[in-house]
Every structure is written in C-alpha cells, then in structure tokens.
Amino acid sequence: MIYSITLNPSLDYVVGLPKLALGRVNRLESAHKLPGGKGINVSRILEQLGISSTALGFAGGFTGQFLKQRLTALHLQTAFTPIADDTRINVKLKAAEETELNAAGPTISPAEITAFKHTLTKALKPGDVVVMAGSLPNGLPTTFYHDLIPLIHAAHAEFVIDTTGQALLDTLPEHPYVVKPNHHELAELFGDAEYPSLAATAAAGRRLLGLGAQHVLVSMAGKGALLITPDAAYHGFVQPGSVQNSVGAGDSMLAGFTGTYQQTHDALAAFKVALACGSATAFSLDLADKAMIDQVFATITITQL
Ligand SMILES: Nc1ncnc2c1ncn2[C@@H]1O[C@H](COP(=O)(O)OP(=O)(O)OP(=O)(O)O)[C@@H](O)[C@H]1O
Ligand SMILES: O=P(O)(O)OC[C@@]1(O)O[C@H](CO)[C@@H](O)[C@@H]1O
C-alpha cells in the first residue's frame, strides 16, 4: 500500500479571470473548488493509474468535510485525523500569470498529533511506501516529517519526502525511495548558480545519490526531467502541448514514479510514467486523468546521458 501524508491539505479555490487588477473589484470568469494538498494530489494521480493508496493527514471543519466527500467521490481511500480547526483554503488565481495564495493552515493540538501518529503506526506494513509532501500546519515542529522516519523504518516501510533545502539534505542519510528537486532547487542546495548543461545538472543529482537517496528525479518544467540512478542518467521529455496549469505537476510526477516503481522495481519504466503524469497535469485544467496520461506517454523521448 502507498500512504500519502498531507499534514496541511487544502480546499483549492481555482479562479480564472482575463486580467487581474490589484486594488479593484475583479469579476471572475470561472471558479472551481478542488481537493488540494501535495500528498492528496499524489493519491489522486495514483488512482488514475489504478494504484491504490490511502490519504492520511489532518482534516477539520466544513473544508475538511468537503475534502473527505470529494475524495470519496473520486474513489480514494482516506483516513484523516479529525481536528477542531478548519482545513485551509488556498486560492489559485489564473489570469495572464498564475498566482497562488496559500494559507498557513489550522493549528494542530498535541492530542491530534498523537492520534495521527497512532493511525500511521497501526496502518504500516512491510513494503509499504509513505509519501510525505507539502507544508506543515501550525503546532507541528519543523522536524515533524523527519521524526516520522523511525516509525516508518520500524515497520520495514519506505518513505519519500517532497522537500527542499536543508530539510532535504537531512533526509538523505535515511535513504529516501526517491527525491525530486527541480533544477533551481538542486542548484540552490549546493550553493551553485544555474547549471549550464544537462550533464552538469546530472552530476549535481548524482551527489544526492552519494548522500543516500535511492533515486533522483530533477524536474525542469517544460524542459522535461532527469532520472539519475546508481547505474545511469537519463533525460526525458514529451512533445510540447498546450500548458493549462502548473499546480500539481511536480506531485503528479512523484506519484507516477513512486507508484510504478513500487509495482515494477524498474526505475526507467517508472520515470516514463512520471514524465507522462507531470506533463499531462501541465496540459490539463485540473490534475491529469488517465486518458491524458496515456496520450502524453505515447510522445515520450528518452536519451541516456
Ligand atoms: N510546461 C510544461 N510542459 C511540459 N511538461 C511540463 C511542464 N511543466 C511541468 N511539466 C512536467 O512536470 C514535471 C514537474 O514540473 P516542475 O518542473 O514544474 O516541478 P515542480 O517545480 O516540482 O512543480 P510543482 O510547482 O508542482 O511542485 C516536469 O519535470 C515536466 O515533466
Ligand atoms: O502550501 P503547500 O503545502 O506547500 O502547497 C499546497 C499546494 O499549493 O500544493 C498543491 C500543488 O502542488 C496544491 O494542491 C496546494 O494548494
């Protein structure tokens, strides 16, 4: 089983307007409410791939209810820990540019934290993979994800944390299943300027393997992505399409890799699905569906570096 953990999920309120005028009343052309949060997006893509997962995290109030109802309607399994405070609302503004307004989120009490850890510990079985992604709500220490690793390892399960900077470096000695910095984050991690070539980017990615990651993906938005394994490095990209949305492309990529690798233990096969999922979401208004993932998959080009 794959468990996604979204400690700070959201109702994503996605609004469209031709042009944003700051300091004025703006009339919207479109408005949609979606279940959001990085781990939840991972579970939604896994569901499209026919891979079962359970979404864990904290959910409360009317927004928490909305989240659970919408995920159940999408056939996802959930086991959220109830909280007294309301789940947050994040606003995604689509005008000439995309602007995201992400709230800090609710405050989690010590009793709610204990209940969450209990749910996770009871659920985990050997061979499970836990994907932890997204920001931390108030009340949780910044080390919260890292502190869950011993619980996960005690169950003989694997983990993925979608994080950046020092927090990412700190997880590497614990051997994450996969890490997925984007190329800007990778350069920042090592205090470098932007890398001049794919080979230089791959060399930096290889350093993450040396520090303990099992696989490294480097996402590069419209320029595709790199896969770096102990044996080889690959660049993959898809045929350009009409970009509708960048929210959740990274989460989709992580879902495609994690789900496929857990099933096949074939990193290159997992990379292809990851590329298809990431770009299919970029080419969709919401997260990608299976039809779009299949369509994009058919256009993948892979080059070994
Ligand atoms: N404009 C695009 N065209 C084609 N594919 C894209 C585009 N944007 C993203 N993708 C695909 O999705 C993957 C992940 O996107 P990106 O590099 O933006 O990740 P990220 O920075 O982690 O994103 P996020 O903001 O979702 O966390 C890319 O590596 C690529 O495969
Ligand atoms: O505030 P965080 O937790 O960093 O990110 C939350 C979020 O922006 O991430 C997802 C896209 O990746 C959205 O569904 C959600 O609103």
The domains of the chain, with CATH numbers, are 2-304 (3.40.1190.20)
Q: What is the average per-residue pLDDT within 158-167?
A: 89
Neighbour-count burial of 278, counting CB atoms closer than 10 A to its CB (0-12 exposed, 13-18 middle, 19+ buried): buried
Using pLDDT thresholds of 50, 70 and 90, give the confidence band for residue 246: confident
Report how far ligand 1's centroid is from the alpha carbon of 29 (Å): 26
Report how far ligand 2's centroid is from the alpha carbon of 279 (Å): 17
How confident is the model at residue 12, as a pLDDT? 96
Question: Token digits for 67?
Answer: 């989240």
The finding on whether 279 has its CB within 6 A of some atom of ligand 1 is yes
Which ligand 1 atom minimizes the distance to the CA of 217?
29
Could you list the beta-strand ranges (E) of the chain.
2-6, 10-16, 30-36, 53-59, 77-78, 81-82, 88-94, 98-101, 129-133, 158-162, 216-219, 225-228, 233-237, 301-304
Which ligand 2 atom minimizes the distance to the CA of 34?
14
Q: What is the average per-residue pLDDT within 99-104?
A: 95
pLDDT at 166 over 90: no
Report how far ligand 2's centroid is from the alpha carbon of 36 (Å): 7
Can you give the pTM of this predicted structure?
A: 0.95
Per DSSP, what are the bridge partners of residue 217?
227
Using pLDDT thresholds of 50, 70 and 90, give the confidence band for residue 152: very high
CB–CB of 54/1 below 8 Å?
Answer: yes
Q: What percent of the chain has pLDDT over 70?
A: 100
Q: Which ligand is nearest to the CA of 181?
A: 1
pLDDT at 15 over 90: yes
279: three-class secondary structure by DSSP: helix
The finding on whether 253 has its CB within 6 A of some atom of ligand 1 is yes
* Amino acid letter, residue 213: A
- What is the end-to-end Cα distance of the chain in Å, rounded? 33
pLDDT at 227 over 90: yes
What are the residue numbers of the active site?
251
**Residue with structure tokens 């999922």?**
277
Question: Token digits for 178?
Answer: 């996969």
pLDDT at 45 over 90: yes
pLDDT at 132 over 90: yes
What span, in angstroms and rounded, lies between the C-alpha atoms of 304 and 296? 20
How confident is the model at residue 163, as a pLDDT? 84
Which ligand 2 atom minimizes the distance to the CA of 8?
3
Q: What is the average per-residue pLDDT within 286-303?
A: 97
Q: What is the average per-residue pLDDT within 151-172?
A: 92
pLDDT at 165 over 90: no
Q: Which ligand is nearest to the CA of 162?
A: 1
How confident is the model at residue 190, as a pLDDT? 94
Using pLDDT thresholds of 50, 70 and 90, give the confidence band for residue 245: confident
The phi and psi torsions of 304 (rounded to 5 degrees) equal -80, 135
Using pLDDT thresholds of 50, 70 and 90, give the confidence band for residue 194: very high
Contacts of 229 (CB under 8 A, 6+ apart): 209, 215, 216, 267
Report how far ligand 1's centroid is from the alpha carbon of 224 (Å): 7
Question: Token digits for 61?
Answer: 């109030």
Report how far ligand 2's centroid is from the alpha carbon of 75 (Å): 21
Residues with CB under 6 A from ligand 2: 8, 10, 12, 36-38, 41, 90, 100, 102, 134-135, 247-248, 251
Instruction: Give the CA distances from residue 113 to residues 36, 88, 227, 288, in Å, rounded to whole numbers and listed in that order.
Output: 21, 17, 35, 32
